[in-house]
């Protein structure tokens, strides 16, 4: 059974490296690279949830 690849929530390219994620009001968003993650973060600041506070 083939593993389903996830698509970047900004550009749609396959997510091949884990770790580029953001928590939003709609749920967890995953990105293919740090650039897409940063652009999404800038454009959607009011939709982001705070990171874990310890």
Q: What is the pLDDT of residue 53?
A: 42
Stretch 36-50: mean pLDDT, rounded?
95
Residue 20: what are its φ and ψ, rounded to 5°? -95, 80
Cα angle for residues 28, 5, 16 (degrees, 5° grid): 80
Region class of 27: left (phi > 0), else alpha (psi between -120 and 50), else beta = left
User: For residue 2, what is the DSSP state?
Assistant: P
Domain ranges of the chain: 20-47
Task: Please calculate the CA angle 16-24-5 and round it to the nearest 5 degrees.
Answer: 20
Banded pLDDT at 50 (limits 50, 70, 90): confident
Q: What's the whole-model pTM score?
A: 0.81
To the nearest whole number, what is the mean pLDDT of the chain?
90
Report whether 40 contacts 29 (CB < 8 A): yes
Residue 34's pLDDT is: 97
């Amino acid at each position: 059974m083939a593993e389903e690849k996830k698509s970047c929530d900004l550009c749609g390219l396959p997510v091949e490296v884990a770790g580029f994620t953001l928590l939003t009001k709609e749920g967890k968003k995953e990105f293919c690279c740090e650039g897409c993650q940063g652009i999404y973060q800038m454009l959607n600041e009011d939709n982001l949830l705070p990171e874990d506070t310890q």
